[in-house]
Amino acid sequence: MKTDYLESVIKQFEYYKMLGDKTITQVAGSMLFWQYNAESNSIATIIKHLNGNMLSRWTDFLTTDGEKETRNRDAEFENDVQSKEVALELWQQGWKCLFNTLKSLTEDDLGKIIYIRNHGHTVMEAINRQLAHYPYHIGQMIYIGKMIQSDKWECLSIPRGKSASFNAEKFSKEKHKEHFTEEFLKSNNNKNNK
């Protein structure tokens, strides 16, 4: 059961990373820095924040506090990333740190206590905390991307007006067990390999 948990959360994180990847791909370079207003974040700023959080939380995950002394969280919300290439580098760096750490964990680690700002969490609780946090921000990225792209936006889930045909296709198959993200990740990998 616990091994299933680790496999499942890795798939969940891969799925949300893929949604972020697809959003970044759809938005032209300069528009990654667009802000609705001065109090809003750009996609690049959200990427910068996720990078800072991921590096802080997942570096030396089992042995040091998840809020590293070297982190400057306030600076993460300054819209000062210089290019799409830099934004992509930050994006990949953060996810690499997260996945390397998750893939190194064992079921025996799940009950261990780690700290974030001196507040104790089991490893499982800490993972769940970030599994809620990152999709929250990726949802913001998607929403901003939809505003920027308007009618050029390519839907990342079931397109409007297509629910009935999507459900008909699903119910035409035999019942089976697989993580719900599998088909989305396979579809994404197939498109990337073309």
Say whether pLDDT at 91 is over 80.
yes
pTM of the model: 0.90
pLDDT tens digits, one per residue of 16-68 = 999 999 999 999 889 999 999 999 999 999 999 999 999 999 999 999 999 99
Domain interval for residue 29: 2-192
**Per-residue confidence at 184, pLDDT binned at 50, 70, 90?**
low
CATH number at residue 13: 1.20.120.450
As a whole number, the mean pLDDT across the chain is 93
Per-residue pLDDT band at 146 (split at 50, 70, 90): very high
Helices within 27-122 (DSSP H only): 43-58, 84-104
Give the residue-averaged pLDDT of 111-135: 98
Q: What total of structural domains would you count in the chain? A: 1
